[in-house]
Structure 1
Amino acid sequence: MKGIFFALAGGFFLTLQSVANAEISSHIGTWQAAAMTQLTGFLFALLIVVLIRDKTYRQLNRVSPLYASGGMLAAIVLFCNMTAVHIMGVTLTIGVFLIAQLVMALAIDGKGWFDMSKKKISRTQIIGVLLMIAGVIVLKW
């Protein structure tokens, strides 16, 4: 139940962030908005680390540079998201983003990439993604 709560909250906040970032980017530029979003996110996360007095950041040298580069990926995600919102609107952007996330998640699970345990991909999972694609096509009309 806790996982579902956080997944729902993440989805809600991603949508709100998409709208806010698109608005910011229309005033200052897309990469500038991505930089501002990354900076404010970093400062907020740093504040939380300080407030909860978590010292595990001292073990950062144990993290692979590949995984430590996730922030760079987030900047690309932000740029793509803001650009898509301007072109397609929030609803279609989020729908397509969700499909892309699911397809990549299925590939990672199915292949066991990035040190994840390999999982069998079922026919129902593939049908679920195809239904989501059909749903986005219906939304587009």
Structure 2
Amino acid sequence: MAGILYAIAAGIIIAMQGAMNSRVNEKAGVWMTTTFVHGTGFIVSLLLYLWLRGGSLDNVFQLNKGYLLGGVLGVGIVVGVTLSIGQLGAAYAVAIVLVAELVFALAIDSFGLFGSPRVAFEWNRIIGVVVMIAGILIFKWK
């Protein structure tokens, strides 16, 4: 149940962040917006880490170094979401982002990408994605 609540909270926060970033982008540009988002996020997350985790970085050095590029991917996320919301509106952009994210997450599960445990492929997942795509088409139907 906690995982579901975390996912709901993350979805709400992603939509809020995208809308806010789109407004900042209108005045500051996408690269300053991205820099500000990641800069403030770095400061807050570092402070929380030092407070909640005692400041130890030992476990980080045991990871596959490629996994540490998540922040680089975050730049693409912030830029993509910021620009898409500015051009498409929040609901339409987030719907497309969700479908794209779900399709790639299915690939991660099915093939065990990035060291993730493999999850058996099931056709009902593809049907779910198709239904979501149909929902987007209905959402934009004029």
Letter in 1 for 2:30: T
Range 102-111 or range 56-65, more displaced: 56-65
Return the TM-score normalized by structure 2.
Answer: 0.94
Cα offset for 1:86? 1.1
The CA distance in 1 between the partners of 2:13 and 2:62, in whole Å, is 30
Cα offset for 1:113? 1.0
For structure 2, list consecutive stretches of 5 or more residues without a partner in the other structure: none
Q: SS in structure 2 opposite 1:69?
A: helix
Cα offset for 1:47? 1.4
Corresponding residue number in structure 2 for 1:113: 113
Letter in 2 for 1:59: N
Cα offset for 1:32? 1.1
Runs of 4+ with deviation above 3 angstroms: none
For structure 1, list consecutive stretches of 5 or more residues without a partner in the other structure: none
Corresponding residue number in structure 2 for 1:131: 131
Q: How does 1:61-76 map to 2 (within 5 A)?
A: 61-76=61-76
Aligned in 2, Cα 1:89/1:51: closer, same or farther, shift over 3 Å? same
The CA distance in 2 between the partners of 1:53 and 1:95, in whole Å, is 35
The CA distance in 2 between the partners of 1:96 and 1:137, in whole Å, is 10
Superimposed CA distance per residue, residues 25-78 of structure 1 (whole angstroms, 9 cap, x where no aligned partner): 111000110111001111111111122243342332212221101100000110
Q: SS in structure 1 opposite 2:110?
A: helix
- Figure out how many residues of one structure are paired with residues of the other and give that number: 141
Range 57-66 or range 98-107, more displaced: 57-66
Q: Does 1:83 align with 2:83?
A: yes
Range 94-103 or range 52-61, more displaced: 52-61
Q: How does 1:1-141 map to 2 (within 5 A)?
A: 1-141=1-141
Q: SS in structure 2 opposite 1:101?
A: helix
The CA distance in 2 between the partners of 1:93 and 1:134, in whole Å, is 15
Cα offset for 1:10? 0.4
Return the TM-score normalized by structure 1.
Answer: 0.95
Q: SS in structure 2 opposite 1:74?
A: helix
Compute the RMSD of aligned alpha carbons.
1.1
Q: SS in structure 2 opposite 1:114?
A: helix
Range 52-61 or range 41-50, more displaced: 52-61
Give the fraction of aligned pairs with identical amino acids, expressed as a percent.
30
Cα offset for 1:97? 0.5
Superimposed CA distance per residue, residues 80-106 of structure 1 (whole angstroms, 9 cap, x where no aligned partner): 111101111000010000001100011
